[in-house]
Amino acid sequence: MKKIVYAFMATVTGLVLLFSYRTSTAPESTSALADAPSSGVATVPKTTPTPSASASSGSPSSGSTSSGSTSAQTSSSGLTDGTFTGQAANTRFGPVQVQITVSGGAITDVQVPQYPSESGRDQQINSRALPVLVKETVQAQSAEVDMVSGATYTSTGYRTSLQSALDQARA
């Protein structure tokens, strides 16, 4: 378990650093995959108010903020309890920031508290920028999708595919 936690610590560091410094390599379709428990609706993660989360979530142009923590209790896992906020990374859609919460030596929450909000289009993009892993699978019809991605179907396989059903509805 300890080894695993260290591995994830490295991942967390990597995540924060990458979000901090990835600028020119920012993908055009900035998106992340996030959980939406028992629902197919994309939701922005809830924001946990902490002292370090004062990173001007409403003003994207304010630039980067440095990381900080709320307490300094280091557990046996090597992770210090508290909330840590990465620097805001400038993406094509504006600054994006990552925040993690460590409690009892384990990461208990990961959030992306800052979203660009300057233009209407940016807002549109970002409200949609978190792809949703459907934990409890839903029928395509009820998910109201425009298209379906899946392993390549043959012409025959297409006939019974979800994509085919969508196409017939829109022919």
Closest CA to 100 of 86, 84, 78: 84
Residue 120 CB-half CA count within 13 A = 0
Is 19 exposed, middle or buried (CB count within 10 Å of its CB: 0-12, 13-18, 19+)?
A: buried
| Shortest distance in whole angstroms from residue 171 CB to other proteins | 6
Stretch that binds other proteins, among 43-51, 53-61, 62-70, 150-158 (CB under 8 A): 150-158
Distance CA 43, CA 2 (A): 32
Size of the site for other proteins (CB under 8 A): 69
| Shortest distance in whole angstroms from residue 89 CB to other proteins | 9
Among 23, 31, 64, 74, binds other proteins (CB under 8 A): 31
Instruction: Calculate Rg over the CA atoms of the chain.
Output: 19
Tokens 């992340």 belong to 32
Stretch that binds other proteins, among 45-53, 54-62, 63-71, 138-146 (CB under 8 A): 138-146
| Shortest distance in whole angstroms from residue 125 CB to other proteins | 6
Does 24 engage in binding with other proteins (CB under 8 A)?
Answer: no
Q: How far is CA 110 from the centre of its chain?
A: 8
Does 124 engage in binding with other proteins (CB under 8 A)?
Answer: yes
Neighbours of 82 (CB within 10 A): 19
What is the binding site for other proteins (CB under 8 A)?
1, 4-5, 7-8, 11-12, 14-15, 18-19, 22, 25, 27-35, 40, 42, 100, 106-110, 120-121, 124-125, 128-134, 137-140, 143-155, 157-158, 160-164, 166-167, 170-171
